[in-house]
């Protein structure tokens, strides 16, 4: 029995030992698991701390430190998709597209439910010009992530870049199902249908948009912009007439109808709609200005061939006056009215409107040029100089102003100042040969007036090198040489060339005749003058010169008759009184 008892005790001890050992092992395992968990939690917390620090440096734009810290985050937690995303953003900022793409792809692989990862990748592929992969990226995002249908528009645009028109249409249809009919989607679908030569489908899309938004007249206008170029004017007229029943004040519809009825030959309806449209103050005045400008061009062309369109002239004038009343603060309305008045020959009123224009818009250089031109034609030199001085302050580097200014000062006989201004303008026009030639010609005149003949001749010669056929320069140069009795053969050659090409110009013929007179070729001089003496444009100087030529030919009484005519034309003409009194010329 004793042995058996020992055996039982031994078994009990073994069981107890086994339990104790097992409990110890379990305890050891529990302690290890707890330790691993604590380590993992500490790692996560450390990673989170590093991420926050990295974000801080990212915000401060210290990208080098930020990158190092994000990389440490990944060392601690390799599946940190957010850290990869931030590294991709930094690489993109540094224009390291490939590196950004690698980081971005890892972010997407680790975080498939984050739409911003897909958007970054799509952007990177787009920058690389890989539209196929960019569109695939959008496709994945939209299929995997809820509430990303707003990016259907970007996806459709990418399909268009790839000329995948059917897929683009399908995508726009999905967007339309999701968000309803809208202008953006309709416009893109219409473009695709037109590209596919499916006009009816494009028109149907336009009608769907109109039906969806019946209170938006602009959509009717948009549809007519498709119909009219495709020769469907009748549909356009019906649409616009129907539109005006609901929106009778719509000026844009009236403008289009005016044009359509004009093409049909219904002038009355065209004019009625046009006048009515011009009453609409909401229409951009620039549109009205363009219409007036178009009519003004037609008026100028008709007048150029002596076939003026009086009806068009009167109606255009009414329209121009109307837009000034409706848009009194718009500079361009006065400018276009000035152009119209100029075309109609009313230069005085044209100048008034140009001056109003530059008062409202001083930076309109083209209108300033119109002012200078009309000032020079009006010969009001004081006012001209005043305008030029204002413009010169506004446009100190515009050579054209110096040209007009120098000319005006020359006409005022302020030759020294004129020369200074013209020399400045010549320097400014160095890159414009044609303009340089004009300055040289003007300087030739100005230097001649102060008897600086060397500089005068130099500038005239330079002008003729630039433009050998500048008739004004050839005429003036030859005339001045004849007055000085110098280089008369050269003067004759130049004057003869001018008259050969301009046989009916009295000024040019008079110069040629005077050169011949100076050379003692009196019969030839008379022959030239006889061509013009019965024509238009004959002035006091012409009569005076003709009298001198007749005197040299021994026809004294006839000479006196023409000197008297010269005196009647210009009482201030020099030396004429003495020639009349003495019946001779004092050489």
What does each C-alpha distance from 509 to 111, 161, 496, 547 come to in angstroms? Answer: 93, 68, 9, 15
Neighbours of 116 (CB within 10 A): 13
Neighbours of 199 (CB within 10 A): 15
> Running DSSP on this structure, what letter comes out for residue 281?
T
| pLDDT for residue 11 | 34
| pLDDT for residue 580 | 87
Helix, coil or strand: residue 270: helix
Q: How far apart are CA 489 and CA 518, in angstroms?
A: 11
Q: How far apart are CA 168 and CA 157, in angstroms?
A: 7
| pLDDT tens-digit series, residues 493-526 | 999 999 999 998 999 999 999 999 999 999 999 9
pTM value is 0.69
The domain limits of the chain are: 192-280
| pLDDT for residue 111 | 87
Q: Is 184 exposed, middle or buried (0-12, 13-18, 19+ CB in 10 A)?
A: exposed
| pLDDT for residue 40 | 65
* CA Rg value for the chain: 45
Beta-carbon contacts of residue 577 (< 8 Å; ≥ 6 apart): 567
| pLDDT for residue 378 | 82
Q: How far apart are CA 344 and CA 342, in angstroms?
A: 5
| pLDDT for residue 46 | 87
Q: What is the helix (H) or strand (E) element at residue 495, kind and residue range?
A: helix 488-501
Q: How far apart are CA 491 and CA 475, in angstroms?
A: 9
Q: How far apart are CA 222 and CA 206, in angstroms?
A: 8
Beta-carbon contacts of residue 518 (< 8 Å; ≥ 6 apart): 482, 483, 485, 488, 491
| pLDDT for residue 587 | 64
Structure tokens at 52: 């926050």
Domain made up of 192-280: CATH architecture = Alpha Horseshoe (1.25)
Low-confidence ranges of the chain (pLDDT < 70): 1-40, 587
């Amino acid at each position: 029995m004793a042995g058996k008892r020992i055996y039982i005790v031994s078994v009990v001890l073994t069981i107890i030992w086994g339990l104790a050992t097992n409990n110890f092992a379990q305890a050891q395992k529990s302690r290890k698991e707890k330790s691993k968990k604590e380590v993992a939690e500490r790692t996560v917390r450390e990673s989170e701390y590093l991420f926050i620090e990295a974000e801080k440096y990212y915000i401060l734009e210290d990208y080098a430190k930020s990158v190092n810290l994000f990389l440490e985050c990944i060392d601690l937690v390799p599946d940190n998709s957010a850290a990869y995303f931030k590294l991709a953003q930094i690489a993109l900022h540094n224009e390291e597209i490939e590196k950004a793409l690698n980081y971005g792809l890892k972010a997407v692989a680790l975080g498939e439910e984050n739409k911003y990862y897909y958007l970054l990748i799509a952007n990177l592929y787009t920058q690389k010009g890989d539209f196929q992969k960019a569109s695939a990226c959008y496709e994945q995002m939209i299929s995997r992530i809820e509430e990303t249908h707003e990016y259907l528009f970007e996806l459709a645009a990418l399909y268009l870049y790839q000329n995948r028109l059917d897929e683009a249409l399908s995508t726009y249809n999905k967007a339309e199902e999701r968000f309803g009919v809208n202008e953006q989607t309709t416009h893109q679908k219409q473009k695709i249908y037109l590209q596919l030569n499916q006009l009816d489908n494009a028109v149907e899309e336009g009608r769907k948009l109109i039906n969806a938004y019946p209170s938006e007249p602009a959509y009717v206008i948009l549809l007519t912009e498709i119909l009219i170029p495709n020769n469907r004017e009748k549909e356009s007229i019906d649409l616009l007439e129907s539109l005006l029943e609901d929106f009778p004040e719509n000026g844009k519809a009236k403008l289009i109808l005016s044009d359509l009825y004009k093409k049909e030959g219904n002038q009355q309806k065209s004019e009625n709609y046009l006048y009515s449209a011009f009453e609409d103050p909401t229409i951009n005045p620039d549109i009205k200005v363009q219409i007036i400008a178009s009519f003004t061009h037609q008026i100028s062309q008709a007048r150029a061939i002596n076939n003026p369109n009086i009806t068009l002239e009167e109606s255009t004038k009414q329209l121009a006056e109307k837009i000034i009343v409706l848009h009194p603060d718009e500079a361009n309305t006065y400018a276009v009215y000035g152009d119209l008045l100029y075309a109609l020959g009313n230069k005085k009123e044209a100048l008034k409107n140009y001056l109003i224009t530059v008062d409202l818009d001083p930076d309109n250089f083209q209108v300033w040029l119109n002012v200078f031109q009309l000032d020079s034609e009006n010969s009001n030199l004081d006012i001209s100089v005043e305008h030029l001085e204002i413009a010169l302050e506004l446009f100190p580097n515009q050579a054209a102003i110096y040209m007009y200014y120098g000319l005006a000062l020359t006409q005022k006989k302020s030759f020294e100042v004129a020369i200074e201004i013209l020399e400045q303008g010549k320097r400014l026009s160095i890159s414009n040969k044609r303009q340089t030639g004009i300055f040289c010609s003007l300087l030739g005149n100005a230097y001649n007036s102060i008897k600086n003949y060397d500089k005068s001749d130099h500038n005239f010669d330079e002008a003729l090198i630039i433009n050998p056929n500048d008739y004004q320069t050839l005429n003036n140069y030859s005339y001045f040489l004849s007055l000085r009795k110098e280089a008369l053969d050269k003067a004759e050659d130049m004057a003869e060339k001018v008259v050969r090409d301009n046989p009916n110009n009295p000024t040019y013929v008079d110069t040629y005749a005077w050169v011949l007179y100076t050379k003692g070729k009196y019969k030839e001089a008379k022959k030239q003058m006889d061509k013009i003496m019965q024509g238009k444009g004959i002035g006091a100087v012409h009569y005076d010169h003709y009298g001198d030529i007749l005197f040299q030919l021994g026809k004294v009484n006839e000479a006196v008759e023409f000197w008297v005519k010269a005196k009647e034309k210009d009482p201030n003409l020099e030396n004429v009184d003495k020639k009349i009194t003495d019946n001779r010329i004092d050489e």
